[in-house]
């Protein structure tokens, strides 16, 4: 089985202060992986590194498919500007941006795909609604519809079920399971440990450094969870890179990827 992503002594951070340190390992193609850890563990930083928003400070990320069009990214809800003047239909249609291009038109087939995606997430009839009028659950449904249109091989979801109602969470996780059944690679940052235990076969427990990575039952032990909490509490926010670490030359990656993988409002 080939790896969709491979981390080689990866360090990610900001202004040479590491937020994720010494990560090694591989995400196999078709894997369904939960990334868990305390607040400040580096989950969002890792995801931004995967999709190319930030560059490694040291080490590297190897992508099985270097085409950035084959990675789809759902950021945390707090990163979406809900005041942007755009309606639901146009926001979902952004999922076709890579295929249609910045000035590409939306033809009949594209319109049918947009309608199918909106129907799949239960938003038929919301086409003309401004995104500012949506509830938290409706907003996530809309963003999942956009992901459906991207039709990516690797899907990275940052806290996709946070602060949404139980029905929305269940409906959207059905889509995650559908992607997994289609042999797409899905990484999901999660806080709900019980949900992860029940639904994710593989887990990475992160606390700025990897604590454990493997079969979920073996990773989410009380001992590992306690170690993760203590590691985050002890982490020096102002720590510099280890002396032996040097950032390698950055691999080529598209400007769209560095900007957030898909256009954000």
Kindly report, residue by residue over 182-196, the tens digit of the pLDDT.
Answer: 999 999 999 999 999
State the residue for tokens 């707090």: 78
Domain annotation covers residue 160: yes
Same domain, yes or no: 4 and 128: no
Same domain, yes or no: 94 and 23: no
Under the banding of pLDDT at 50, 70 and 90, the label for residue 99 is: low
Same domain, yes or no: 178 and 223: yes
Domain annotation covers residue 134: yes
Residue 180 zone, left/alpha/beta (φ > 0; ψ -120 to 50; rest): alpha
pLDDT of residue 243: 55
> In total, how many domains does the chain have?
2
Question: What's the whole-number mean pLDDT along residues 86-99?
Answer: 89
Question: φ and ψ at 204, to 5 degrees?
Answer: -110, 120
Each residue's pLDDT tens digit, 181-230: 999 999 999 999 999 999 999 999 999 999 999 999 999 999 999 999 99
Structural domain span for residue 52: 1-65+153-248
Q: What is the distance between the alpha carbons of residues 6 and 213, in angstroms, rounded to a whole number?
A: 13
Does the structure show a pLDDT above 50 at 2?
A: yes
Q: What is the distance between the alpha carbons of residues 60 and 24, in angstroms, rounded to a whole number?
A: 9
Under the banding of pLDDT at 50, 70 and 90, the label for residue 237 is: low
CATH number at residue 6: 3.40.50.300
Under the banding of pLDDT at 50, 70 and 90, the label for residue 265 is: very low
Domain annotation covers residue 70: no
pLDDT of residue 261: 35
Domain annotation covers residue 10: yes
Under the banding of pLDDT at 50, 70 and 90, the label for residue 97 is: confident
Q: What mean pLDDT value characterizes the chain?
A: 87
Same domain, yes or no: 205 and 131: no
Contact call for residues 173 and 161 (beta carbons, < 8 A): yes
Same domain, yes or no: 137 and 21: no
**Share above pLDDT 90 across residues of the chain, in percent, rounded to a whole number:** 72
Same domain, yes or no: 159 and 243: yes
Same domain, yes or no: 19 and 40: yes
Q: What is the distance between the alpha carbons of residues 242 and 248, in angstroms, rounded to a whole number?
A: 14
Under the banding of pLDDT at 50, 70 and 90, the label for residue 17 is: confident
Q: What is the distance between the alpha carbons of residues 34 and 197, in angstroms, rounded to a whole number?
A: 9
Each residue's pLDDT tens digit, 125-150: 999 999 999 999 999 999 999 999 99
- Angle (CA) 213-30-50 rounded to 5° is 65
Same domain, yes or no: 172 and 213: yes
Same domain, yes or no: 111 and 2: no
Same domain, yes or no: 161 and 237: yes
Same domain, yes or no: 213 and 111: no
Most confident of 27-36, 63-72, 103-112: 27-36
Same domain, yes or no: 173 and 57: yes
Domain annotation covers residue 204: yes
Each residue's pLDDT tens digit, 39-92: 999 999 999 999 999 999 999 999 998 887 799 999 988 788 888 999 999 999
């Amino acid at each position: 089985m080939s790896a969709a992503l491979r981390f080689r002594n990866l360090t990610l951070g900001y202004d040479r202060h590491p937020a994720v340190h010494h990560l090694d390992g591989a995400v196999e193609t078709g894997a369904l992986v939960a990334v868990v850890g305390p607040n400040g563990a580096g989950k969002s930083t890792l995801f931004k590194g995967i999709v190319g928003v930030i560059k490694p400070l040291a080490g590297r990320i190897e992508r099985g498919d270097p085409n950035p069009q084959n990675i789809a990214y759902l950021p945390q809800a707090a990163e979406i500007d809900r005041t942007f003047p755009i309606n639901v239909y146009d926001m979902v249609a952004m999922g076709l941006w890579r295929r249609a291009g910045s000035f590409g038109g939306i033809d009949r087939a594209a319109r049918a795909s947009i309608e199918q995606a909106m129907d799949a997430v239960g938003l038929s009839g919301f086409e003309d609604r401004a995104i500012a009028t949506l509830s938290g659950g409706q907003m996530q449904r809309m963003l999942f519809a956009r992901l459906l249109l991207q039709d990516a091989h690797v899907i990275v979801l940052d806290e996709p079920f946070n602060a949404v109602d139980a029905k929305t969470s269940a409906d959207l996780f059905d889509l995650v399971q559908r992607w997994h059944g289609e042999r797409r690679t899905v990484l999901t940052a999660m806080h709900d440990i019980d949900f992860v235990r029940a639904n994710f076969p593989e887990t990475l427990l992160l606390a700025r450094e990897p604590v454990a990575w493997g079969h979920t039952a073996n990773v989410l032990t009380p001992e590992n969870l306690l170690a993760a909490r203590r590691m985050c509490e002890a982490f020096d926010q102002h720590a510099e890179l280890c002396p032996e670490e040097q950032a390698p030359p950055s691999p080529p990656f598209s400007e769209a990827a560095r900007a957030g993988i898909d256009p954000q409002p």
